[in-house]
Structure formats: structure tokens, C-alpha cells
Amino acid sequence: MTFQVALFIVSLLTFLVNIPFGYWRANVKKFSVQWYFAIHLPVPAIIALRIIGDIGFHWSTYIVLVAAYFFGQFIGGRIFTWRAQKQKEPLSSCLVMDFYRCIN
């Protein structure tokens, strides 16, 4: 696998991992303990993805992965605000459970 393909896959996974955490972050008080957890808990997973994907820690990879990280957090927060405006019943901080409740 080439470096570019590995970087693309790791950045896509970074984006996808951060969507539920951005959803969680949008539902808690800013600068609370849960807010810090929502931001920092995905970091070890992203470091593991870097190691498994063998992309290393070169400065050029930071630009792509930080952008994917923050974009995933942003999209997760937007999903929460969109669902909060559209849905009448209260939402939880868990994206998976809220979608499960929506289906049933």
C-alpha cells in the first residue's frame, strides 16, 4: 500500500471516529470534564491508527489528520444541533443510541 493511500485511509478513519465524539461534545457544558473527554478520548485511537497504518509522525501527516480530526468533531456537533432542532424529545449524548431510538 502506498503512503498516500494509507494516509487517506487513516484520515478517513480519524474523521469517522470523531463524529460520535463531536456529537457527545455538543451536548455537554463547554470546558466540563465530559467536554475534555469528548475531545481527548479519540487521540489514543488515532495514534494507534497512525502506527498500524505505518504513516509515521511526519509534519505533513499532522496537517491532514488534524483537519480530519476537527472536521469529524465539527460534523458530529452539527448532527447533534440538527437533530436537536428537528426532534421534539430530548436527545442523549450518544449518537448510536439516539439513532437506535429513532429507528424503533
Full pLDDT tens readout for the chain, 104 residues: 899 999 999 999 999 999 999 999 999 999 999 999 999 999 999 999 999 999 989 888 999 999 999 999 999 999 999 999 988 778 888 988 988 988 87
For 56, residues 6+ apart whose C-beta sits below 8 A from its C-beta are 50
Question: What whole-number distance in Å separates Cα of residue 104 and Cα of residue 95?
Answer: 15
Question: What whole-number distance in Å separates Cα of residue 104 and Cα of residue 99?
Answer: 9
Rounded to the nearest 5 degrees, what angle is found at the Cα of 50, between the Cα atoms of 45 and 51? Answer: 95
Identify the domain containing residue 63 by its residue range. Answer: 3-103
Instruction: Report the number of distinct structural domains present in the chain.
Output: 1
Predicted local distance difference test score (pLDDT) of residue 103:
84
